[in-house]
Amino acid sequence: MGIRLKSLVGACAFALVAGLAHSQDLAPLNSDTEQDRMDWTELEAKLGAFPKLPDGTKAGGVSKTLTNEYWRSLGEGYQKFADKAGVTVAYQAAQSEGDQLGQLTIAEGMVTQGYNVLLVSPQTDANLQPVLEQAKEANVPVLNVNDAVIPQAEHYVGNVQRDNGVRVAKWFIENRKDGGKVAIIEGQAGVYAAVQRTDGFKSTISEGGKFEVVASVPGNWDRQQSYDAATNILQQHPDLIGFYCNNDGMALGVVEAVKAAGLQDKVAVFGTDGISDAYASIKAGELTGTVDSFPVLTGEVAMEVALRLVAGQTIPRVVSTPQALITKDNLAKYQGEGVDVRAVLMQDAAGK
């Protein structure tokens, strides 16, 4: 296994250099700040009605894992739009969020199997880099969909990752006027989304000098690891007033640690993603909130963008998708019987 992983690292490094040489006019992608972008609400207005596709079009989705509800929901979105467009879609994922080699093997297989477009959600910013060169040679467009970012990706669909952390920090600033000690449970070290979410929270909450970030440690997207990390942090800082976690699975682990310490009335906990368990925990008065990035809608938007690429349309490098900070105060607006989330988010976008 060690040799295979070394081979993967070597292949990623070689492909990255090759990609830079092959696409010298394509700057390394920062999906949060890329200027060549459009909002998801502008697709039809700027690109026209959805185009006719070649008969037999097949789309391949490569996810991080299906053990996390967020990625299952993203796949639902892929399927939903593919059904509407009359396109066949296959959605596969690695066994875990740490199986970089397995994910690479799946993606490479989809190129050789004749899929017309790939939608990939890399586990790290580098592990699927070799697929870009393979797909380019096969004339197969590749769309990077949340949340790690391949530097040489030509097209990306996803939300503004930094804004996840910014929104939570602003909640603390507005709702904890006296400030206090806070902690961050990060995702996988070095992954674009984790870095941006953490930085957005840390830099925003530090403004004004009332808050102190006393710990910022990796939870590696793992619930148990995050529970253990939060337990240690609470032992060291029993006067902590809140946690920001880079995803909801980790946040739910932190909630359990807070409850075990008997601090649920004193410590606010926020996650990121908007999975159903997070909504249920908010309703139960346990999780304080989450930043929902609406994975089903993101999947629909991503599939539409991918198929427009198959049809030969010119599309900005980044198509940004929505997000919203969800707490018990506004939960009913975004979830519940009769709620049309797409319509609500369109209204949110129009009100900006």
Q: How confident is the model at residue 1 (pLDDT cuts 50, 70, 90)?
A: very low
Mean pLDDT of 229-245: 98
Cα–Cα distance for residue pair 55/127, rounded to 1 Å = 32
Q: Helical H runs in the chain?
A: 2-22, 43-47, 69-85, 100-112, 129-137, 161-175, 192-205, 223-236, 248-260, 276-283, 295-310, 331-334, 341-350
Cα–Cα distance for residue pair 228/263, rounded to 1 Å = 16
The per-residue pLDDT for range 178-201, each reduced to its tens digit, is: 999 999 999 999 999 999 999 999
Q: Give residue 324's Cα distance to chain centre.
A: 13
Q: Are the C-beta atoms of residues 82 and 88 closer than 8 Å to each other?
A: yes
Fold exhibited by the domain 161-292+330-335+345-350: Rossmann fold (3.40.50)
Contacts of 49 (CB under 8 A, 6+ apart): none
Cα-based angle 269, 198, 176 (whole degrees, multiple of 5): 40
Q: How confident is the model at residue 21 (pLDDT cuts 50, 70, 90)?
A: very low
Within a 10 A sphere around the Cβ of 24, how many other Cβ atoms?
A: 8
Q: How confident is the model at residue 77 (pLDDT cuts 50, 70, 90)?
A: very high
Within a 10 A sphere around the Cβ of 11, how many other Cβ atoms?
A: 17
Give me the chain's average pLDDT, please.
Answer: 93
pLDDT at 19: 41
Is residue 303's pLDDT more than 80?
Answer: yes
The per-residue pLDDT for range 100-141, each reduced to its tens digit, is: 999 999 999 999 999 999 999 999 999 999 999 999 999 999
| Residues across the chain | 352
Q: Are the C-beta atoms of residues 319 and 38 closer than 8 Å to each other?
A: yes
DSSP secondary structure code for residue 51 in this structure: P
pLDDT at 41: 97
Is the domain covering 2-12+27-158+295-320 a CATH 3.40.50.2300 domain? yes
Q: Give residue 168's Cα distance to chain centre.
A: 16
Return the structure tokens found at 226.
């995050």
Mean pLDDT of 93-97: 92
pLDDT at 352: 66
Return the structure tokens found at 6.
């070394």
Cα–Cα distance for residue pair 222/230, rounded to 1 Å = 12
Residue boundaries of the structural domains of the chain: 2-12+27-158+295-320, 161-292+330-335+345-350
Q: Give 93's strand partners.
A: 63
Is residue 241's pLDDT more than 50?
Answer: yes
Mean pLDDT of 213-218: 98
Do 161-292+330-335+345-350 and 2-12+27-158+295-320 have the same topology in CATH?
yes
Is residue 17's pLDDT more than 80?
Answer: no
Is residue 11's pLDDT more than 70?
Answer: no
Q: Are the C-beta atoms of residues 33 and 92 closer than 8 Å to each other?
A: no
Q: Are the C-beta atoms of residues 150 and 127 closer than 8 Å to each other?
A: no
pLDDT at 26: 85
